[in-house]
């Protein structure tokens, strides 16, 4: 089946009140979405979302008229495009969505997966005072989640430790707590200092009694030696990273060299489903868990969920949830149905073909950036 056309549209939803995420010193005032639609010669359409696809138009002709399901070919070209333009991996996701629709199967089944049920961890995005954070943690626990991730490193370390202690006291021991330091990358306008190895080690020492499930992005994404040393600390939590590493050799080195316990590369940002399916399957041989980052809209979440379910399923998959500031209605504004958890800390991907979503064309018309 040949590719007839590729269409890219951009959309913007105003956020009010702004969302004060921990990874950005500027509160989020607009939620931007890029949609990729691949039309096959028979008229069927595969859809995805993710990176802005800046510069892709220069290379669109490399795909038109080609076999839509020659995934390895397309992946190699997308890898090369990333050297000259933006990350254009959403095209790979759209092709998998198309493949699922043609075969009338969900993507995770096409990847060889069994069950489409995945356990989730609720992933918060704000930094709150201890009492407020503990209250929010209890609200999320009451929603059925068995694991919750909290953000740190936008205040003094002792204040972070105090907040995490309040959370553990409120949740008890039956809920897993992940912690994200967001030290692997920065927004372009953020010139704050990176954590050093000693900073990260100090946080591990101060939170040892809290029995954290993992410590995420404690160091810059390229500090392989520092990550390896942190992982070797007796009694340290699992070390998670790799969200922003954007080369195959980096991912393989992170896994093979003992740098981490959990690899978090997002198929929207790098590799697509095609590339990361290979990495995910390799991870087991290195004793590494593949649990991709999914903080984005519902389409990106579904792509990573199908990838995870189709290649082995991690103990927990990230599910963005930060009430009351960050709502599912905002996250998934482009969809006819919200991508909902099941009330028991899981999501069931079901049997819908492709990635299993439908677009709300009315909202997309109103939010399109002309």
What average pLDDT does the structure give for the chain?
96
Per-residue model confidence (pLDDT) at position 154: 82
In the chain, CATH 3.30.390.10 sits at 3-104+359-367
CATH superfamily of the domain spanning 110-348 = Enolase-like C-terminal domain (3.20.20.120)
Alpha helices in the chain (DSSP H): 71-81, 90-103, 107-110, 130-142, 157-171, 197-206, 224-231, 248-256, 272-283, 298-310, 328-331, 361-367
Write the pLDDT tens digit of every residue in 282-334. Answer: 999 999 999 999 999 999 999 999 999 999 999 999 999 998 889 999 999 99
Write the pLDDT tens digit of every residue in 145-182. Answer: 999 999 998 889 999 999 999 999 999 999 999 999 99
Residues 6+ apart with CB under 8 A from 242: 221, 250, 251, 254, 260, 263, 264, 265
Kindly report the length of the chain: 370
Using DSSP's 3-state secondary structure scheme, residue 39 falls into strand
Using DSSP's 3-state secondary structure scheme, residue 26 falls into coil
* Residue 370, pLDDT above cutoff 80: no
Do the strands 238-241 and 214-216 form a parallel or antiparallel pair, or are they unpaired? parallel
The structure tokens listed for 57 are 């138009």
- The gap from C-alpha 5 to its chain's centroid, in whole angstroms, comes to 28
What is the average pLDDT across 81-88?
Answer: 92
Write the pLDDT tens digit of every residue in 188-244. Answer: 999 999 999 999 999 999 999 999 999 999 999 999 999 999 999 999 999 999 999
Fold of 3-104+359-367: Enolase-like; domain 1 (3.30.390)
Grade residue 7 by pLDDT with cuts at 50, 70 and 90: very high
In this prediction the pTM is: 0.97
């Amino acid at each position: 089946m040949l590719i007839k056309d590729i269409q890219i549209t951009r959309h913007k939803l105003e956020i009010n009140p702004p969302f004060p995420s921990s990874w950005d010193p500027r509160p989020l005032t607009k939620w931007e979405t890029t949609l990729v639609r691949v039309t096959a010669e028979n008229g069927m359409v595969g859809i995805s979302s993710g990176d802005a696809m800046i510069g892709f138009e220069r290379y669109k002709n490399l795909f038109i008229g080609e076999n839509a399901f020659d995934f390895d070919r397309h992946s190699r070209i997308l890898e090369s495009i990333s050297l000259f333009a933006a990350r254009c991996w959403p095209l790979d996701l759209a092709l998998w969505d198309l493949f699922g629709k043609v075969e009338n199967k969900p993507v995770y089944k096409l990847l060889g997966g069994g069950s489409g049920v995945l356990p989730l961890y609720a992933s918060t995005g704000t930094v709150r005072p201890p009492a407020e954070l503990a209250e929010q943690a209890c609200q999320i626990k009451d929603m059925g989640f068995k694991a919750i991730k909290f953000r740190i490193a936008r205040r003094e370390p002792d204040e972070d430790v105090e907040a995490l202690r309040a959370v553990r006291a409120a949740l008890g021991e039956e809920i897993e707590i992940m912690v994200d330091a967001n030290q692997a990358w920065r927004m372009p306008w953020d010139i704050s200092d990176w954590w050093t190895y000693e900073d990260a080690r100090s946080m591990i020492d101060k939170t040892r009694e809290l029995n954290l499930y993992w410590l995420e992005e404690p160091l810059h994404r390229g500090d392989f030696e520092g990550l390896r040393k942190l992982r070797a600390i007796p009694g340290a939590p699992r070390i998670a990273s790799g969200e922003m590493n954007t080369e195959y050799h980096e991912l393989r080195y992170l896994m093979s060299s003992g740098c981490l316990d959990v690899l978090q590369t997002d198929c929207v940002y790098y590799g697509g489903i095609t590339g990361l399916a290979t990495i995910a399957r390799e991870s087991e041989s290195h004793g590494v868990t593949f649990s991709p980052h999914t903080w984005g809209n519902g389409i990106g979440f579904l792509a990573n969920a199908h990838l995870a379910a189709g290649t082995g399923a991690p103990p927990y998959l990230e599910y963005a949830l930060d009430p009351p500031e960050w709502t599912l209605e905002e996250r998934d504004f482009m969809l006819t149905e919200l991508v909902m958890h099941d009330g028991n800390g899981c999501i069931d991907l079901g049997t819908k073909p492709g990635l299993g979503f439908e677009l709300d064309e009315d909202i997309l018309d109103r939010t399109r950036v002309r």
